[in-house]
Each structure stands twice: as C-alpha cells, then as structure tokens.
Structure 1
C-alpha cells in the first residue's frame, strides 16, 4: 500500500555537498500554510525541526555548553525571523 503513495524529492545543497530527501507529497500538502509553495513548506519544516532539536538539547538534554546555547539562540532568532513569532509562541512550549 505504501508504494501507492506519491512522493516528492527535494534537493539540499551546500557549498561542499548535496543530498536529496524524498517525502510523501500528501504530507507536504498537509503541513503547508495557505498558498505557500512545496519548497517553502519543506524549508519551514527543516527550520522547525532544527529549532525543536536545539531546544530539546539545551533545555531537556544532559547539559549544554556555551557553544550549544549560542547555536540554539541563533536558530531561535532565525525561527522568529521566518515565522514572525517565537518558538515558544508557535509551539506553546515556553521556558
């Protein structure tokens, strides 16, 4: 049954490397906000995932050093710039 589900493949590139990720197309449509494009939707999910993971490591992990705390602070700034709300406001999870 899962072979019948349509997928979409997205390319990810940096200066030094490249990769691809394939996800079910229906999930992209499901999490899209309004009329945003598929690429914008995947970008939102990527940033949300990094912010969520950083939050977990700093606030719920085994202790964070200054470098990790700085990384978490920066991703939260980027999150707020992209979404117009803080991570805590968006998720209802505040410290």
Structure 2
C-alpha cells in the first residue's frame, strides 16, 4: 500500500453562479470509469446516479412524497435514461 493516495479535485458550478469543489481519490475515479470516459464524465455519471437513487428512495421507500417530489423524481429518471440509454430499473435491477 502506498503512503500517499493521489486525488483529483472537480469544480462544480450552477446556473445561478454558485460554485463548489469536491476532491476524491483518483484511483476510485479510474475504477468506476467505463471505457474511455473522461474523469469529468465519470463524476457526472456518479452525480446523476446518486440523485436518481436518492430520489427513488425518498419517493418509493417510506417517505411521504407529494406531487412536486414525484415530478422531481420522474424528471431525474428521464434524465437518467437519456444519459445512460436504459431506465434506472434496468440499470439497477430494482423495478417498481
């Protein structure tokens, strides 16, 4: 095991001008990358997957979801399918 783990920092910016940075171990980015994805594409995939997973959990597993939250979940699922070419259920094996 090496003593020093290399990291990569990613900058995030929103339409309203807000910014943030996140630093992650570079090896983990390489580990989850698919094919010739760039590091930024890999992190983008993980962000969308995380939002889809969290929205699914909130709406379908024990939280009371109102119409607005259900619409938000439906939109992130559409964005997920657009990006990955499969539904969230197909990608995760978790269907409702």
Give me the TM-score of the superposition, normalised by structure 1: 0.95
Matches within 5 A, 1:12-91: 12-14=12-14, 15-91=16-92
- Secondary structure of the structure 2 residue equivalent to 1:61: coil
Taking structure 2 as the reference length, what is the TM-score of the superposition? 0.94
Secondary structure of 2:11 counterpart: strand
Moved over 3 A (4+): none
> Offset at 1:2?
8.4
Deviation at 1:3, TM superposition (A): 6.2
Gaps in structure 2 of 5+ consecutive residues = none
Could you tell me how far apart the structure 1 residues matched to 2:43 and 2:63 are?
Answer: 30
* SS in structure 2 at match of 1:12: strand
Unaligned runs of 5+ in 1: none
State the 1:16 CA deviation. 2.6
Q: How much has 1:63 moved relative to structure 2?
A: 1.2
